[in-house]
């Protein structure tokens, strides 16, 4: 623990530069943070950086919204497919040939 | 369904009891659940013939295991459970044989979405419509399938496991035999490519 408070000058500078870089990260890097935040808890500065970025970047805000909407839609459709009472009328179906082939296999 | 309960009772009394008339009928499974299983598989593998094979394997597997189906869950839930295992087997087989993506190199399809300063070049536009209601449209299924198909096997599998199944990341790492750091990269690439593909081919607003 103690060693953390005894950083040399160059280490402080490195740390500061790292934080500066995070706070100035472009959209390409911010989207990586946004994605990774779905899987793990980000370090404090990285989290702060992408949250600040989202405050002023409407394109990245849309990126987040789109992925969330897609996730919600995919989980909903998967849930519906698991529930026979909610069968949707549209969507791809087994072809007649595949259906016949499977039927034959099941009889055998 | 009294017929069903009768079947379960008889099987538990004597495992060698021949299957009686009221037993669940595999052809009925195909009729009632075939299309749903097919769509479910298609979301994962994005290939019609692979999805058809997975439905077949699932029903054959169900046929073999039907005595273990105690009717605690619905037939659909039971069949979907078997399908999920078949999907994982398929992913394991497929990804073992494929060379790994070069995760150190930049992903060009993603680099194209940004300019040289790392800022979006024309990226995320306002979407027309909502993905949830898009599934009511048969054409959207085609577009989604093509966009998923365009992803390399590992990216697609990582995406489907995480976004559809909400599988914990440690399990996906085991399934795909990758480290957590690599999985994060795979997921970021899959999401960013798929979002752009769907925007280009479906959600782009005309105005």
Q: What chain A residue is nearest to B163 in terms of C-alpha separation?
A: A71
Per-residue pLDDT of chain A (108 residues; tens, 9 = 90+): 455 566 688 888 999 999 999 999 999 999 999 999 999 999 999 999 999 999 999 999 999 999 999 999 999 999 999 888 877 778 899 999 999 999 999 887
pLDDT of B206 > 60? The answer is: yes
How far does the CA of residue B110 sit from the closest CA of chain A (Å)?
A: 9
Closest CB to B130 among A62, A69, A95: A69
How far does the CA of residue B60 sit from the closest CA of chain A (Å)?
A: 6
Q: What chain B residue is nearest to A69 in terms of C-alpha separation?
A: B131
More confident call, B106 vs B1: B106
Residue range B102-107: mean pLDDT, rounded? 81
Question: Is the separation of the CB atoms in A40 and B180 below 8 Å?
Answer: yes
Structure tokens at A32: 């990586």
How far apart, in whole angstroms, are the C-alpha atoms of residue B180 and residue B188? 12
How far apart, in whole angstroms, are the C-alpha atoms of residue A62 and residue A75? 20
Closest CB to B141 among A28, A78, A92: A92
Q: DSSP class of residue B203? A: I
List chain B residues with CB under 8 Å of A87. Answer: 35-36
ipTM of the complex: 0.88
**Confidence band (pLDDT; 50, 70, 90) for B74?**
confident
A residues 49-108 lying closer than 8 A (beta carbon) to B: 59-60, 62-63, 66-67, 69-78, 81-84, 87-88, 90-95, 98-99, 101-103, 105-107
Closest CB to B27 among A77, A90, A106: A106
Structure tokens at B123: 């990226």
Q: Of B3-12, B16-25, B178-187, give the lowest mean pLDDT range.
A: B3-12
Question: Is the separation of the CB atoms in A36 and B180 below 8 Å?
Answer: no
**Confidence band (pLDDT; 50, 70, 90) for B51?**
very high
How far apart, in whole angstroms, are the C-alpha atoms of residue B80 and residue B37? 7
What's residue A41's pLDDT?
A: 96
Give percent of chain B above pLDDT 90.
65
The count of CB pairs under 8 A between chains A and B is 164
Start-to-end CA distance of chain A, whole Å, equals 69
Structure tokens at A36: 């990774």
Q: What chain A residue is nearest to B31 in terms of C-alpha separation?
A: A99
Q: Which domains does chain B have, with CATH numbers?
A: 2-97 (1.10.1740.10), 108-203 (1.10.10.10)
What's residue A5's pLDDT?
A: 62
Residues 6+ apart with CB under 8 A from B112: B121
Q: Of A42-56, A61-75, B1-15, B77-91, give the lowest mean pLDDT range.
A: B1-15
């Amino acid at each position: 623990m103690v060693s953390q408070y005894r950083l040399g000058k160059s280490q402080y500078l490195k740390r500061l530069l790292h934080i500066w870089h995070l706070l100035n990260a472009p959209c390409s890097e911010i989207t990586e943070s946004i994605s990774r935040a779905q899987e793990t808890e980000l370090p404090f500065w990285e989290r702060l950086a992408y949250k600040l970025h989202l405050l002023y970047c409407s394109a990245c805000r849309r990126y987040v919204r789109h992925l969330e909407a897609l996730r919600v839609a995919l989980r909903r459709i998967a849930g519906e497919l698991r529930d026979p009472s909610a069968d949707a009328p549209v969507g791809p179906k087994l072809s007649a040939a595949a259906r016949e082939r499977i039927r034959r296999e099941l009889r055998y | 369904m009294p017929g069903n309960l009768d079947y379960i009772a008889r099987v538990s009394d004597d495992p060698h009891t021949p299957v009686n008339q009221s037993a669940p009928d595999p052809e009925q499974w195909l009729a009632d659940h075939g299309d749903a299983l097919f769509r479910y598989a298609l979301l994962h593998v994005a290939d019609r013939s692979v999805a058809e094979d997975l439905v077949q394997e699932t029903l054959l597997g169900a046929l073999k295991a039907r005595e273990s189906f105690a009717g605690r869950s619905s037939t659909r839930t039971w069949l979907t459970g078997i399908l999920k295992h078949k999907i994982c087997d398929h992913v394991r087989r497929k990804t073992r044989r494929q060379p790994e993506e070069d995760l150190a190199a930049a992903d060009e399809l993603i680099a194209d979405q940004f300019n040289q300063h790392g800022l979006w070049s024309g990226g995320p536009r306002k979407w027309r419509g909502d993905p949830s209601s898009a599934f009511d449209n048969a054409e959207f299924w085609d577009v989604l399938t093509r966009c998923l198909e365009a992803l390399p096997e590992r990216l697609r599998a990582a995406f489907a496991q995480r976004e559809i199944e909400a599988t914990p990341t440690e399990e996906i790492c085991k399934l795909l035999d990758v480290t957590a750091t690599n999985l994060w990269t795979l997921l970021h690439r899959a999401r960013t490519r798929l979002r752009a593909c769907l925007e280009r081919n479906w959600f782009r607003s005309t105005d």
